[in-house]
Amino acid sequence: MTPVFHPEALAGRVALVTGATRGLGFEMARGLAAAGASVWLNGRNAVALELRAAALRADGLDARALPFDIADADAREAAFVGVQALDILVNNVGQRDRRPLEAFATDEVRQLVEVDLLAPFELARLAAARMRAGASIVNITSIAGPIANRGDAVYTMAKGGLDALTRALAAELGPRGIRVNAVAPGVFATETNAALVADPATTDWLQRRSALGRIGAPAEIAGAVVFLASSAASYVSGHTLVVDGGYSSHF
């Protein structure tokens, strides 16, 4: 399930992927680098992040670590001082806390919205100031934006907002030649979902619920991001590309 990319599809372009230490974020970074981009990997753990960047460099890819907390305004500003030009921003970081409404303190809701919605807004603003025509922003939303479940209101609210922000940024930045799109992942076999994937009953249900009859492999997210970031999607903006194996398209 490992996609193959043309090594010059993104040649000469500089990309930043937030939340790239592991899981889908790392696979997005790998895919962009495999397509020829010079990729900044972002995360909060500098040591772990450098190990991941080094792993990509060992494969002959151009990757560097850029550790900072996206929810920290001062850290965002400081990190971008060293980023003089940027062609691709992937807003991937997201936090999820499944609890009923009554279990949340207002400050906890604010913190989740800060990470899942406000930080991507601020990063897009910082990135756009460094982007030229032909650049691309890809927001990682979720199928939990347009569809919902009990005990997940804050995440659904924030991801729905990020989906709307994608359209708004596309309208705002389009006249400058900057495209803004989103990818909405379904269920993938990431480290975060390890317990879910290990549960036979849940796995069986997910496989029956999906049109393709399986859970996604993390590497399968990369193709959508590379496509939207590349000139192959030169007339695509304000779009959310769902990557869920058909989970949300049928019943």
For the chain, the structural domain boundaries read: 14-241
Q: Are strands 240-243 and 63-67 parallel, antiparallel or unpaired?
A: unpaired
Residues ≥6 apart with Cβ < 8 Å to 21: 41, 43, 44, 45, 48, 49, 52
CB 227 within 8 A of CB 233: yes
Distance CA 177, CA 225 (A): 18
| pLDDT score, position 151 | 60
Both structure tokens of 190: 């990431």
Enter the pTM of the model. 0.93
pLDDT of residue 209: 84
* pLDDT mean by block of 10 residues, the chain; 251 residues: 80 97 96 97 96 97 96 94 92 77 77 91 96 97 80 82 96 98 91 80 85 92 97 97 90 72
Query: What architecture does CATH give domain 14-241?
Result: 3-Layer(aba) Sandwich (3.40)
Please name the residues in contact with 68: beta carbons below 8 A apart, sequence gap of 6 or more: 42, 44, 75, 76, 78, 79
- Tell me the C-alpha distance between 176 and 113, whole Å: 28
CB of 15 closer than 8 Å to CB of 37: yes
247 flagged as catalytic:
no
Out of 155, 188, 227, 247, pick the active-site residue. Answer: 155
